[in-house]
Structure 1
């Protein structure tokens, strides 16, 4: 016998949140890790070999978060740009550390072949609180559009705008976690006054392609590389992954621009959103980071070979 899930503890079922509910939600968020010691310290360590810039800052109450980007030092206007973004959802840890690990271990392999632009932690407030939303209960990864309500999204768009037509490849590094189903999707339904409809979390790595400009061979090249590091999410008995039809093994499609997703911020012919599954008993944090790195390398290699 199926039982209805318990109502989310904030708000009234069926009624969208107002200021009081958002304030109640915010009061329950606590800092659980340090952006400065875990992210900024790594960026500082990389600064002798790369150009590091503060492209904006977030002010939430008494807290200020500098938004940092890493660029190729030998930037050349005749080279294609590769954009890597991580931590758009702050709780998706391997997106942040996978981006940094790629820069540290592999960026030099592509020197003189690409201009590299990396925003490793787009949402530092949420990184510290291991959360999906920013302090205003807004999802940055539905906010990449004109007049964005999310400072995280607006700042990144401003950073990228001068090169958006020069980007060959954009890799946006994400995770799908068990807390998507236990916390974040129920919170979203409550915030918007909608019923929560339970779903299944896929066990494994998958990709989100652009349904408006699908690149199946590019996506498959990434899947093939990542499979050497961690397992690929199978389709469920409906032929879906996380409620979306499987376009090819380990790949689903979203209309990126229509949904205001980060992967829509450039006109890159090659773009994808990675989805690592860190809660699998078959994956370690090190494997999750390595999967992100493998995805980035495979993406760059394919894009360069097929530009």
Structure 2
């Protein structure tokens, strides 16, 4: 029996009324201030912290967006960009980015300039959602004149560094809720039928179709495999509908799809995908997998300028 999303009419795209109905149904489950901003504040002793924008979704829904930069920035050094929380519900992307800065960031002083945006979508983080408050997916809206304020703010942050960013790693998760909630919601919003898919069990990477870097991806996979398991291909030799080009690696057209990993023009780019719902992985392992991915990415980029 075909499932219908509880908002809207099957086959009819949402209007503003349905989007407002969807937004009104969302509940705040956790605190951006307590879980994210507090950790960022603690990093101020060793890193420069600044705001690069503010989201205004109502009187009690205003959020400052924070960037963490290497102290004593040196323009002669390569820039390494780390982004997390583009989808607010992907917890290890946010917590993994912060854990990396806390545990490993100081080691790169004098070797690389770090630029880290650990939680791009704080409204979504608090509500454990993929979309922002406008029912838009920030990770399909990294485009000129973006309608998603989260995406527009990050594009503005990164713009002055384009041409100097050597590596950009964007930290994500693929969860069971993609299939139970977010893909059905997307189909309903766009007035399309929901087509069931398969959630891969394990970690994988998304390379750039226009600029594939197989050795870079492989270095990250090898590092993460020491922490958690790598997602196998399905019966069609695919992961989430895309051909597996190497163990744990698929490709997307990053810029064409408006994805975050396509914003920097870096030589080395990737999107991580952790699977937090696996019975074989703990939240701590998921965070550690993100940290392993970031460190491996930076080390490879430094060794292969």
Band the TM-score falls in, shorter-chain normalisation: over 0.9
Equivalent residue number for residue 103 of structure 1: 101
Q: 1: CA distance between counterparts of 2:14 and 2:262? A: 28
Q: 1:28 aligns with which of 25, 28, 35?
A: 25
Q: Could you tell me which residue of structure 2 aligns to residue 17 of structure 1?
A: 14
2:284 maps to 286
Q: Which residue matches 2:123?
A: 125
Alpha-carbon shift at residue 74 of structure 1 (Å): 1.4
Whole-Å Cα distance in 2 between the matches of residues 202 and 276 of structure 1?
Answer: 10
CA RMSD of aligned residues (A): 0.5
Unaligned runs of 5+ in 2: none
Q: Distance in 1 between matches of 2:50 and 2:172?
A: 23
| Counterparts of residues 121-270 of structure 1 (less than 5 Å) | 121-270=119-268
**Where do 1:292-303 residues align within 5 Å?**
292-303=290-301
Deviations 1:88-114, CA, capped at 9 Å, x for gaps: 000000000000000000011111010
User: Where does structure 1 differ by over 3 angstroms across 4 or more consecutive aligned residues?
Assistant: none
For these two proteins, the number of residue pairs brought into alignment is: 304
TM, length-normalised to structure 1: 0.98
Q: Distance in 2 between matches of 1:273 and 1:47?
A: 27
Contact residue 132 and residue 138 of structure 2 kept, 8 A:
yes
Deviations 1:63-89 (A, max 9, x none): 210000000011001000000000000
The 2-side partners of 1:61 and 1:17 are apart by: 22
Q: TM-score, normalised by structure 2?
A: 0.99
The 3-state SS of whatever aligns with 1:257 is coil
Identify which of 76, 85, 88 aligns with 2:86: 88
Unaligned 5+ runs, structure 1: none
